[in-house]
Each structure stands twice: as C-alpha cells, then as structure tokens.
C-alpha cells in the first residue's frame, strides 16, 4: 500500500486529500498540520459578529470522514530539507519517522507585513477568535470618546473586513470612524477598473476615509504614522487601532514546481514531492494567484497526478484558468466578475453568487464535489 503525506491542511491540502480518498481508496493518506482545526479563511470577515468556531472543522472529524491519519506537528521546511526528504523518503515526526511514497507540501501563505505592537491586528487575531472582543472593546471606548480605526491594504481581504465592520458599527451605533490606507493608487489592482470605481463610490457612501498612495509606518497607543508615497511627507493621525492586511507571501518559502506540480529546486526535480496552494509557484500558464480558487484546483491536480503515477501513467499539466472572482462588501453587497473579466457582477446578485461559492466548498468538505472542469 502506497503512502501519501500532505503537509498543511488548508484549501489545497484538503483538496488533495479528499480527491485522493475518492480516486484511490487503497492509498494510505496522512495529514500533518500544526493546528487542530481547518479554518475557512475566506469567511474570516464575518468573525466580528459570528464565532470563528463556526468556520472551523476539526481535522480529526475530517480524518474520520475521508479516511486519513492526522498528525498534529509543526515542521520546519526549506529547500534543503525537501531535498533531504526526497532522498530519504521519510519525514521525522518527534521520536519516529513517517515514510512516504509521495509528499504534497501545501503550507500556504503568511502576512507580507506581520502585525506588530499593541493595537495592531491581522488575520491571525481573527483566526484566534478575537473579533467579538475587539468590537466590544471599541464600543466601550467609543462610548466615552469617538475613535478612529485604520485599515491597511486595498486588497480583497482588507476590504471585505472593512465593509463588514462598517455594517456592524452602524447597526450597533458605535461612534467610530473608519479609514482605508493603501500604498497603491487604486484598490483591487488585479480586478477590472470598474470594480475599483464601485469600491470608491461605496467608500464615499459609507463615510470611510480613503488614503491611496500612502504608506503605513506604525501604530502607537492612540495614533498612526503614515507617509505619502509621492513626496515622502510623514504625518500622524488619531487611531485607536490598525487592522493590517497589506497582502500575503508564499510561506515558509516559495516552492517552484514544474507544470505537473512536482517541486523543482535550482533545476533539480524532486519527482516524489509535489506542492499545491499558496506556497507553490507553478510553471506554465495555469492560474497561479494566492487564492482559494487556485489552491483547490492545484490540490485536485496533484491528487490526480499521484493517482496516475501510482498506476504507471504519466502526470498531466496544470492549465486551470480563473472562472471569476467575487468578494463581499458587507452583509448584502459584493463585487466581482464571472466568466469574462469585463462581465462585472455587483450588489445583491453578486453577494448571492459569493455565498454560493462558500456553500460549494462546504459541500466539498462534506464529500460532495461540485468543482467541475479539469485543473
């Protein structure tokens, strides 16, 4: 019986495991992750109002459902470590070694600018369930004196959280102002220009201050330090807290792969080690962005290729192209495109489509695969 080990239980890792369990039940599957639960991070913008536990699934539960063994372990990974594992075909886990025939590394991404200092928060705080406590703290402080909260980054993650928080602040009548600070000259640089214009109009309608081409320097106890990108002028604004979403990077290292998903380090192919998800940097023209959509498709691809190799067949290349992209702008609003990038969806219909995408992933974790098309 062949052993397949997956390191990292995010969207790509689970996509690989679930696909492998369905395609070849005879494979012996293992998952290694430092955490106890899988977190649906595309829902973290909702965790100021909804307990984060609602968006987590225990790995032990998934292991029972799909027939893999879960090992809770933190591993240190770099290029030299992967080369060594390829030679040894085993991974050290505490006081024993875990043998593998194939290995999938899907360790994901990390914050480009980690949140440091007091009153600075990032995705890790929302994953830890800090959202409701932070909202209560800001509500208490605002009852004594109006306050301002700063958001860093005009990408999808920061914008989704910004507008979700704006809706909560309005509903609870909290005397707090919000501002969006971004180094770029426009929001959502990878989206059509029409999406940016829609965002700017919504920022104005919601009374959110927008500061483009502005660099975040630091958050102090009651203020934030900023710098204008054009002229380098530094200045200070009142700020009770900073929510830092300046983007992500492949972590712990970028893992270059060939078009089939096998890792290549400095021109040396590691034939039995694949990569999928945000940590992977695929050769070829398939979707290679750091998104859940790409992660799921890469995970399905490497699962297919491992099944092929196990059966003595050749692996296939990754060619998946983005079918659309949607992001939430509060409880009943969203923006994005479907089918063609020029086909913008906005407002409540876009929000319905966005929720349908989340439901599709929920079904996937329940064992119902509705992700059609070849990766």
Q: 113-246 falls under which CATH superfamily?
A: FAD/NAD(P)-binding domain (3.50.50.60)
Mean pLDDT of residues grouped by 10 in the chain (375 residues)?
96 98 96 97 95 97 98 96 97 94 97 92 96 96 95 96 97 97 94 95 97 97 95 96 96 97 96 98 96 97 98 96 94 94 94 94 95 85
Task: Give residue 234's pLDDT.
Answer: 97
Cα–Cα distance measured from residue 243 to residue 134, given in angstroms and rounded to the nearest whole number: 11
Task: Give residue 117's pLDDT.
Answer: 87
Task: Give residue 217's pLDDT.
Answer: 96
Task: Give residue 52's pLDDT.
Answer: 96
213, 187 contact by CB (below 8 A) = no
Second-level CATH architecture of 3-110+249-322: 3-Layer(bba) Sandwich (3.50)
Task: Give residue 277's pLDDT.
Answer: 96
Q: DSSP class of residue 234?
A: E
If you write DSSP's letter for every residue of 358-369 in order, what string do you get? HHHHHHHHTT--
348: exposed, middle or buried (Cβ count in 10 Å: 0-12, 13-18, 19+): exposed
Answer whether the bond into residue 252 is a cis peptide, omega within 30°. Answer: yes
If you write DSSP's letter for every residue of 95-133 in order, what string do you get? TEEEE-SEEEE---EEESS---STTEE-HHHHHTT-HHH
Task: Give residue 375's pLDDT.
Answer: 86
Which stretches does DSSP call E strand in 133-254?
A: 147-152, 176-181, 209-211, 214-219, 223-228, 234-238, 241-244, 248-250
Cα–Cα distance measured from residue 41 to residue 8, given in angstroms and rounded to the nearest whole number: 14
Q: Where are the domains of the chain?
A: 3-110+249-322, 113-246, 323-375
């Amino acid at each position: 019986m062949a052993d397949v080990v997956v390191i990292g239980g995010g969207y790509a890792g689970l996509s690989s495991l679930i696909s492998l369990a369905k395609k070849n039940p005879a494979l012996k599957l293992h998952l290694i992750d430092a955490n106890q639960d899988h977190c649906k991070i595309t829902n973290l913008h909702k965790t100021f109002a909804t307990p984060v536990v609602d968006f987590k699934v225990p790995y032990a539960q998934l292991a029972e459902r799909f027939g893999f063994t879960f090992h809770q372990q933190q591993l240190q990974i770099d290029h030299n470590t992967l080369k060594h594992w390829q030679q040894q075909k085993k991974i050290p886990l505490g006081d024993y070694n875990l043998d593998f025939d194939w290995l999938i590394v899907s360790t994901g991404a990390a914050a480009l600018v980690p949140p440091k200092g007091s009153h600075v928060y990032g995705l890790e705080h929302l994953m830890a369930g800090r959202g409701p406590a932070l909202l209560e703290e800001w509500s208490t402080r605002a009852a004594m004196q109006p306050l301002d909260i700063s958001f860093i980054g005009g990408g999808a993650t920061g914008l989704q959280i910004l507008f979700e928080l704006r809706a909560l602040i309005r509903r609870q009548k909290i005397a707090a102002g919000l501002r969006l600070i971004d180094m770029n000259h426009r929001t959502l640089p990878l989206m059509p220009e029409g999406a940016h214009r829609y965002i700017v109009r919504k920022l104005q309608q919601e009374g959110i201050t927008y500061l483009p081409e502005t660099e975040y320097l630091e958050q102090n106890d009651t203020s934030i330090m900023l710098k204008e990108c054009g002229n380098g002028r530094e200045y200070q604004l009142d700020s009770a807290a900073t929510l830092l979403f300046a983007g992500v990077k492949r972590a712990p290292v970028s893992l270059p792969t060939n078009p089939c998903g096998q890792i290549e380090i400095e021109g040396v192919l590691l034939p039995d080690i694949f990569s999928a998800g945000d940590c992977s940097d695929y050769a070829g023209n398939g979707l290679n962005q750091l998104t859940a959509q790409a992660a799921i498709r890469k995970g399905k691809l490497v699962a297919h290729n491992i099944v092929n190799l196990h059966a003595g067949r050749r692996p296939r290349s990754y060619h998946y192209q983005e079918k659309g992209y949607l992001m939430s702008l509060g409880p009943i609003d969203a923006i994005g495109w479907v089918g063609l990038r020029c086909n913008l969806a906005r407002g409540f219909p876009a929000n319905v489509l966005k929720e349908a995408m989340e439901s599709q992933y929920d079904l996937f974790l329940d064992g119902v695969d509705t992700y059609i098309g070849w990766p």
